[in-house]
Amino acid sequence: MTSEDLVFDFERVRVHGVEVYEGTALDVRVVTAGMSRRVRDGFLLDQVPWGRFSHAYGSGEDVPGYLERMRSADAAAARAACSSLGNSVCHQGTTGSVAPLTVPFLLRIAADPAVHERVDALGLVAAVACRNHWGDGSRAALLRVADADDDVRFDVGGYPQNWSVRAARDAIAADAHVPIALLDDPDPAVREEAACVLAASSGRAWEISAAFHERFRVEEVPRLRAGLVLAIAQLAREHRHEDAAGFTRACWSDPTRPPEVRVAAALGWLCLVDDPAPEDLRAVLDELVTDELVRVMAEVPWLQQIDPYFGAGLAHTLNQMFDLVEPPTFPDLWGGPKGFADDPPF
């Protein structure tokens, strides 16, 4: 390709279809896959073609500056850089074409205990690697990442988001060892976001699933236990792991399990199978979903994205899954706690 060819032309896509760029130097999946381990580990930002791709505000040429400032010893500067980067590459639910190129570096930022923005770095990775389903807690959508047969959707620059999301998921798979190690991080927020990142991976699913189960056996934070169950179920849904339905059913039907685990497992099971909800599952939910449990699960990322502002994600999810016109009959469920989160987690 000449330098003139290295500019994505949406008018050309209108005429010839997006396939005209498939497999070329303007296919971000190809560019992300071609980024060497040396570049990723060495944080060699100058060897990445940022300007070839874009975000909500134009060229991706400013992205390496944000990544560098995220490693600043100045907490305020790092926070501002992370916020600006996130707003640019993951803007109003869209994933910019430059976003996947940030994934290897954001993972390494998160792995550095001296960095201030570890949690938000992982949160941004999870955001660019998933199709936005805010507010949709249905059985079809709660654990959905981005199916291969999704309709093509375009970002604000006319680039196919499907390619960007897939490239981000592939980048996670290539460096899965980084967030896997973070599942054992001393910071619970890092552990939680690492699980979200890994659940979106396009590959190494059995390795990741094994890591989830290992962490699940020792995790002591209730909200994180619930999140790990949903992470296991999401990964299984994407990669067709049939044994996960048995695992989730065993969890929700086991009276010795903690309430948050049983309820999360019930949600996971409902997303993994097409069967109608059995009466014993409904009885488990009727017994265990209380105001206290709603508060515990309000910030579980999968539920927080259903209601990021008022903490009623569990209520909305159950309402949608059971096709209820009125709020669920669980005690005070609809009037759950307010103000648990100001922003969507992804």
Structure confidence at residue 56 (pLDDT): 87
Q: CB atoms < 10 A from the CB of 15, how many?
A: 8
Could you tell me which of 96, 149, 158, 150 has the C-alpha nearest to residue 127? 96
The pLDDT of residue 3: 44
Given the structure tokens 């994205």, which residue do they identify? 305
Per-residue pLDDT band at 115 (split at 50, 70, 90): very high
Q: How far apart are CA 179 and CA 186, in angstroms?
A: 13
| Angle subtended at Cα 67 by Cα 61 and Cα 71, rounded to the nearest 5 degrees | 155
Domain ranges of the chain: 1-134+152-203
Least confident of 80-89, 153-162, 165-174, 263-272: 153-162
**Residue-level pLDDT at 5:** 59
Pick the more confident residue, 103 or 309: 103
Is pLDDT at 108 greater than 60 in this prediction?
yes
pLDDT mean across residues, the chain? 88
pLDDT tops 90 at residue 228: yes
Lowest mean pLDDT among 48-57, 91-100, 310-319, 329-338: 329-338
